[in-house]
Amino acid sequence: MTDSIGFIGLGRMGRSMAANLQKKGFSLLVADLNPEAVKALEALGAEAATVPEIARRCSVVITMLPSSVEVEQIAQGADGIFANALPGTILLDMSTIDPLATDRLSKAAAGRQMTVVDAPVGRLAEHADRGESLFMVGASDADFAKVKPLLDAMGTTTYHCGPVGSGGRTKLVNNYVAITLCQVNAEALALSQRFGLDISKTLQVLLGTSANNGQLRMNFPNKVLAGDTSPGFTIDLAHKDLSLVVGAAHAARVPMPVAAAVHESFSLARASQFGGIDFSGIADVVCELAKIDRPRVPEGWKPS
Amino acid sequence: MTDSIGFIGLGRMGRSMAANLQKKGFSLLVADLNPEAVKALEALGAEAATVPEIARRCSVVITMLPSSVEVEQIAQGADGIFANALPGTILLDMSTIDPLATDRLSKAAAGRQMTVVDAPVGRLAEHADRGESLFMVGASDADFAKVKPLLDAMGTTTYHCGPVGSGGRTKLVNNYVAITLCQVNAEALALSQRFGLDISKTLQVLLGTSANNGQLRMNFPNKVLAGDTSPGFTIDLAHKDLSLVVGAAHAARVPMPVAAAVHESFSLARASQFGGIDFSGIADVVCELAKIDRPRVPEGWKPS
Amino acid sequence: MTDSIGFIGLGRMGRSMAANLQKKGFSLLVADLNPEAVKALEALGAEAATVPEIARRCSVVITMLPSSVEVEQIAQGADGIFANALPGTILLDMSTIDPLATDRLSKAAAGRQMTVVDAPVGRLAEHADRGESLFMVGASDADFAKVKPLLDAMGTTTYHCGPVGSGGRTKLVNNYVAITLCQVNAEALALSQRFGLDISKTLQVLLGTSANNGQLRMNFPNKVLAGDTSPGFTIDLAHKDLSLVVGAAHAARVPMPVAAAVHESFSLARASQFGGIDFSGIADVVCELAKIDRPRVPEGWKPS
Amino acid sequence: MTDSIGFIGLGRMGRSMAANLQKKGFSLLVADLNPEAVKALEALGAEAATVPEIARRCSVVITMLPSSVEVEQIAQGADGIFANALPGTILLDMSTIDPLATDRLSKAAAGRQMTVVDAPVGRLAEHADRGESLFMVGASDADFAKVKPLLDAMGTTTYHCGPVGSGGRTKLVNNYVAITLCQVNAEALALSQRFGLDISKTLQVLLGTSANNGQLRMNFPNKVLAGDTSPGFTIDLAHKDLSLVVGAAHAARVPMPVAAAVHESFSLARASQFGGIDFSGIADVVCELAKIDRPRVPEGWKPS
C-alpha cells in the first residue's frame, strides 16, 4: 500500500485531470498507450508505470478511457487491475460508459474485496484544463470520503448521486437533456430564421420565459450563434453519449421517442460530415441541410 | 372615434385581461357568446355591445378567440370589424393563431386603411388574473406605441418582436421550446426513475449544468413533481400549440423531427385521456404508459 | 335537369379524366381557370360553361381541385354549385381533401336536398391518361349506382368503401401506407448500401419474404433503382398527402409516430430541393444527404 | 476429421433445426445448457458432447445462440471451438447477431485456417419445425457449397447473399422492413378504426394498391386481425432485432428516423407488458394505448 494514485488514460480530458492532481500535490503513477502523453506527465513529476505495477502500488486507481471495452479489459484482464491490486483498492472509473458495465465491474471487484467508484466528468475539456470540472459520483459513503480530495483537485463541483453506478446513470440523464436542448434550440432557430424573425429578438424572448435553457443561454451565443463551431464538445461525442442513453433506455424499458429522434439527427449530422464541429453547431447543420440561412447574432451580442 | 376600447372574447384568459383593463381606467365595450362572461365585465363598469357597434365606436378592438376561424369571421364577416370600423382602427389580435391567418388579416385590413397588431399572450391564466402576462407583439412602431399602454395594463413584460405577424411567430417558436422541454424532462425523469436514482439528486445535478431549463426549474418542482397536475396550461392546449408549430413549420419548409415526435407524444397523452391535466403532467403520462413509478420530490422540496 | 355531366377542375389529372368521359359518350360541361385546358376539352366535344350554369344544367357535378379551400368555395360560394343546382344534384368530389371538409360539404348539401359523393383517385396521372385509375368511393348505395358508370369510364377499379366521407378517409389510410413504404425502403436500401451488399441480392431476399411490398416490387425497380426519378407522383404531392394524414390523425386522436417521422423526412427532402422528383426518389435523397452511394440495379433488372 | 456435424444451441428454433438434420441422415453431436433439450435430440439418435469434443470431431459446427456474447464465448473461449478444432473447420453460425461480431469471428477464424459462414434464419419457429426455414447466407463459394446440403435439410429457401457477414447484414435489412411493416399497418388500421371505416373494406383496398405488403397480406389476417396474438414471433424478439438494426445503422452512419420511431414504439409495447405477444399484435397495442377499438376482420375472412 502507498500514497500514490494510479491514473490510466491520458487522452484530451485525462491528461488535464492528471496534471491537476500532480500539480496539487498527489504523486501519480501514470499509464497510456501514447508515450507523448506519458512524457508530459513525467515532466510534471509523475512516474510512468505498467498497469500491474499501478495496481500493486496504488490504493486508488483512476481510469479515464474511451469506452466500456477498454475499462473492462484494463480492470479484468490477466494483466489488469483486479488481478494485481490489494484488497481495499478503489477503482475510480471516470470514463463515460454503459452503466451495466459499471455494475459488472463492481460485482467483479466485490469478489476480491475491492470497490468501484464511478465518477464521470461533466463540462468541457477546457474546464478540465483549469481544474473546473464537475463530477457525478456513485460510491458508498466511505469510498466517497476517500476520493473526494482527488475530485476536489480536479474540479469545482461534485455531486454524490448515490451508490456505485449512480454517477454514470446520472450523467446519462444529464447529457440526454443537455444534448437534446441543442437539437431543440436548433429546430427553434431554424423556424425563427424561416419566419424572417430577428434572431436577437427571438433569443431575448426565449431567455425570458420558461423556454429558457442552459444551452441557449450559455453555449449558443458564444459558439454557433457567434459563428464559432470549433469544438468544445463535438457532435461525434454527443452522438456517442446519445448511443449510451438510448441503449441504456432500451435495456431499462424506457421509451424515449425524443431521444431517438435526436439520435438520428446527430447521426445524419455525422454522416453529412459535420461530426467534428461543436455540438451547438447542430443548429448550423439543421439549417444547412434544409437550405436555411445560418442563424447569427451581431458581434459582441450578450443575453441581457 | 372614441376613447373606448373594444374587447371581443371573454374566455378563461380574455375575461381576466379585460377586467384588468377596465379596472385600470380604460372604458371597455365587450362582446362574447357567453352572457355570464359579459355580465361579469358589466359589473366592473364595462358596456356590453355587438361586434358592429364595437367596430364603429372603438379605435382599438382587441380579439381573444380560440382559433383563426373565429378571428377571421369576426374580422372579415359581413357584420364584422373591418366592414364597420373607421379608417385608422387597430385590430389588436391577442389570440394564438396560424401566422398565415394573421398575414391574411393584415392584408385585408390594409385595403381599408386599418392595421392589425398581433400580440399573443405568454404565461398562464393565473398570471393574466394578476395582470402579470407577457406579450409578444408584432406591430409597426406607431401601432406599438398606441397599444403599449393597453398591454401595460394587462401584463408586466412586453416584447416588440418586429412588424405585424412577428408576435405570433415568436410565440410559436417560444412555445415549441417550452412545451418540448416538458417532454424532454419527462423522458429524462422516466429514465432516472427506472435507473433507481433519487429524483431530488438528479434534479440538483440537472439544474446545475447546461441541462438546466425553465420548465425543470420553475414548473416541474411546483407541479407534477409535487403531485399537482391540476392545469395551469393543459396538455390539450399544448397539443393545439404544437399543431400550429408543426403546421407552420411544414408551410415554411422547416424539418423539425423533434417537434413531430413531441406532437405524437402529446397526441398519445390526449388519446389515453390525459388531455385535461397540466402539461408538466406529461412526465406522469410517460411513466404511466410505460409502467414506471411516477417521479416525485419530497414535500416542500425546492431547487437549491 | 339534363343528361350533361359537369366537370370543374381540368388540371393534370382532371383533364385526362374529363377527356375519357367525353370520349366514352358522356356530354360534358367543363370549367377551369386555365382557358387552354378548357379549349382542349372543347376540341373533344365538351362545352365550356360557368360554375352556376354547370350547377343548373347537370345532375352530377364532378370537382377535381387542389384542396378543400377550392372545393368549399366552388360548392358553397354565392356563385357556387349548391346555390344554383336543383334538388337531387350529386356533387361528385374527386379531389384529395381533408375528410372533415367532406363532412361539412355533405351536411350543407343535405340542407338543400342534394348529396355528396367523395371519390378520390388512386394511381398516377399516367393511369388517368389511359382511363386506368382506381377510385375509393364514399356514397349511399343509390348514389353509388348513379356515379358508377362515370367512374367506369375513367378507371378500371372502383371500391365502394362506405357512406360519404369513406372514400377520402380510405385514400388517406392507403396513401399513408404507400408513401411510408417508400421511406422504409429508402432507409433499408441506404443500410444495404452502407453494408456493402449487392442491391440486387438484397431486393431478391426482401421480395421473397414478408418484407415484400408494393412499392419495392412495382415502383422502385422501374424508377429510382433504375436511375429514373422523373415524377409519376412527386415528393411534394406525397408531402401534401402526409399533411392531410397527420392532420386528420391529430383531429381523430390517433398517435402515429411513424407517420410523423416520414412527414419530417419528406419535409427535409422538399427543403433540400428534391420536391419535384418522383416519391420513390426519397431513396436517393436519404442517401444523398448521408453521403451514401445511390442504390441502383443493373439495367433491365427485374424481380424474379 | 469426421462426418459428424456439431450443433450447439438447442433452443426453440435450434432444436427443430437439429431434429430435421438428424432425421434427414446427418449424424449430430449436440450441446446445450439445458439437459432436456439434449435428451430430446439423443432420442432421435444424436450424440451428446462437450464443446471441445464437438470442435475436435466435426468439420462443420453449427451455433444457434441468443446473442453475440454467447457466440463469441463458445467460439473464442479457452474451451471453445477455435481453440480445439482442426484447420479447415467451418463455424456455421445461424444466430442473429451484430454483424461486427461476425466480422471479428471471421478474422479470428482466419488466423487458425478456419472459416465462418453466417446463415441466420428467416421465417418463424413453426417453419423451422417443418423444415421450411429460409436462410440468408454469407460465405465463400466453396463454403457455401459445403453447407448447402445442411441448409437444404432444414429449410426450403436459401439465399447466398455474398461473402461472410452478408447473411446477417441482409437479415437486418430484411427484418427492419418486415417489423416496420407491422408498425405501419398498426398505425394505418388505428386510423381506419377511428375513421369508423369497415376494416375488411380498408384491407381490400390496401391489398389492391402499391400499399400492399407481406405483413398485411400474410400475417395480419391470420393473426391479430383474427384476434390471435399468440406468438409466432414475439414483440420482444422484434425489439431485439430492431436494437441490432439501429445499432448497426449508427455504427455504419446511416440515419434511419423511421427505424428509431418503430424501435421506440416496440419499446413502449414491451414496457406496457405486451412483449410476449405476436409482433403483428403491435396493432392491438397501438389501439389499446390510444383507447381505440381493436381492429378485427369477420371470422374466416380472407383477402380476395
pLDDT per residue as tens digits for the range B191-221: 999 999 999 999 999 999 999 999 999 999 9
Residues A161, B208: C-beta atoms closer than 8 Å: no
State the nearest Cα–Cα gap between A181 and chain C, in angstroms. Answer: 19
**Coil, strand or helix: which one is B93?**
strand
Q: Which of C187, C239, C266, C272 to mutate to test the interface with A (most CBs of A within 10 A)?
A: C272
Please give the radius of gyration of chain C, using alpha carbons only, rounded to the nearest integer.
Answer: 21
Q: Which of C162, C198, C254 sits opposite D194 (nearest CB)?
A: C254
State the nearest Cα–Cα gap between C15 and chain B, in angstroms. Answer: 28
pLDDT score for A303? 82
pLDDT score for A1? 37
Closest residue in A to B215 (Cα–Cα): A210
Residues B191, A252: C-beta atoms closer than 8 Å: yes
| Tens-digit pLDDT profile for residues A75-97 | 999 899 999 999 999 999 999 99
Among the listed residues A24, A39, A146, A171, the single catalytic one is A171
Q: Which residue has the cell 513529476?
A: A45
pLDDT score for D3? 77
Closest residue in B to A213 (Cα–Cα): B213
Using DSSP bridges, classify how beta strands A60-63 and A47-48 pair: parallel, antiparallel or unpaired. Answer: unpaired
Q: Which of D183, D263, D274, D289 to mutate to test the interface with B (most CBs of B within 10 A)?
A: D289
Give the whole-angstrom CA distance, residue D90 versus residue D86. Answer: 10
The percent of residues in chain B predicted with pLDDT above 70, rounded, is 99
pLDDT score for D228? 97
| Tens-digit pLDDT profile for residues C191-239 | 999 999 999 999 999 999 999 999 999 999 999 999 999 999 999 999 9
Count of residues for chain A? 304
What integer is the mean pLDDT of D290-299?
96
Chain C residues inside the 8 Å CB shell of A261: 261
| Tens-digit pLDDT profile for residues D232-285 | 999 999 999 999 999 999 999 999 999 999 999 999 999 999 999 999 999 999
Chain D residues inside the 8 Å CB shell of B290: 268, 271-272
- The full DSSP string for A258-290 is HHHHHHHHHHHHHHTT-TTSBGGGHHHHHHHHT
Closest residue in D to B291 (Cα–Cα): D272
Residues C272, A291: C-beta atoms closer than 8 Å: yes
Residues B290, D273: C-beta atoms closer than 8 Å: no
Residues D213, C212: C-beta atoms closer than 8 Å: yes
pLDDT above 60: residue B1: no
Q: Which residue has the cell 410559436?
A: B172
Among the listed residues D23, D171, D223, D302, the single catalytic one is D171
Ranges of residues in chain C with a pLDDT under 50 are 1-2
The percent of residues in chain A predicted with pLDDT above 90, rounded, is 96
Q: Is D107 a catalytic residue?
A: no
Closest residue in C to D167 (Cα–Cα): C197
Contacts for A129 with CB less than 8 Å, ≥ 6 apart: A16
What integer is the mean pLDDT of D43-49?
98
Q: Spell out the alpha helix ranges (H) of chain A.
A: 14-23, 35-43, 51-57, 68-76, 81-84, 99-110, 125-129, 141-154, 166-194, 199-207, 214, 220-222, 235-251, 257-271, 282-289
pLDDT level of residue B304 (50, 70, 90 thresholds): confident
DSSP structural state of residue C116: E
State the nearest Cα–Cα gap between A261 and chain D, in angstroms. Answer: 6
Q: Which of A267, A268, A274 to mutate to test the interface with D (most CBs of D within 10 A)?
A: A267
| Tens-digit pLDDT profile for residues A246-262 | 999 999 999 999 999 99
The closest of A206, A192, A294, A290 to B169, measured between CA atoms, is A192
Q: Which of A141, A179, A205, A262 to mutate to test the interface with B (most CBs of B within 10 A)?
A: A205
Closest residue in D to A262 (Cα–Cα): D257
| Tens-digit pLDDT profile for residues A207-231 | 999 999 999 999 999 999 999 999 9
Chain A residues inside the 8 Å CB shell of B248: 191, 195
pLDDT level of residue D83 (50, 70, 90 thresholds): very high
Contacts for D111 with CB less than 8 Å, ≥ 6 apart: none
Q: Which of D214, D265, D286 sits opposite C213 (nearest CB)?
A: D214
The percent of residues in chain D predicted with pLDDT above 90, rounded, is 96
C-alpha cell at position D82: 477455435
pLDDT above 50: residue B149: yes
pLDDT score for B303? 82
Q: Which of A177, A194, A218 sits opposite B188 (nearest CB)?
A: A177
State the nearest Cα–Cα gap between C246 and chain B, in angstroms. Answer: 10
Residues B187, A176: C-beta atoms closer than 8 Å: yes
**Coil, strand or helix: which one is D87?**
coil
Give the whole-angstrom CA distance, residue D126 versus residue D133. Answer: 9
pTM recorded for the entire structure:
0.96
